[in-house]
Amino acid sequence: MKKIHVAAAVITDGTSVLATRRNYGDFAGGYEFPGGKLEPGESGEEALHREIREELKTEIIIDRLLGTVEYDYPKFHLTMDCYLCRLTDRHITLTVHDRAQWLHPDEFDTVNWLPADIEAANWAKEALQA
């Protein structure tokens, strides 16, 4: 089975998290935490800074690693390192998503999370309630 290693940004403003909706591929319409594949020799943090610049046209501050999700999709195995982050500027520009919304923990079940992102959403909820 193909293996893909990605880094995901669980971006918070202290009370809510940023969820983005994919507008392409097999998972179009599903919500996820922004981020992407690690390039060869790249750390999760380096990949995340690069991907957020590409996907949201902004910068982030990475606070800590929340955890790593291991998930088997039908066509590949995903390893997703999830980092708790903050925006340096609340202004974002979507380039690969068609929607973004700030969700409070009690609103997490109002969107259709991609399967691998469900565990990360649970970690985000715990981090916000701590």
Do residues 80 and 71 make contact, with C-beta atoms less than 8 angstroms apart? yes
CATH architecture classification, 2-129: Alpha-Beta Complex (3.90)
Torsion angle, alpha carbons of 94, 71, 127, 48, to 10: -40
Provide the pLDDT confidence category of residue 55 given band limits of 50, 70 and 90: very high
Q: What is the pTM of this model?
A: 0.95
Model confidence at 130: pLDDT above 80: no
Q: Chain-wide mean pLDDT for the chain?
A: 95
* Run of H or E including 74: none
Please write the tens of the pLDDT for every residue from 83-106: 999 999 889 999 999 999 999 999
Paired strand residues for 35: 8
CA–CA separation, 5 and 128 (whole Å) = 26
Domain ranges in the chain are 2-129
At residue 129, the pLDDT reads 84
At residue 25, the pLDDT reads 85
Provide the pLDDT confidence category of residue 38 given band limits of 50, 70 and 90: very high
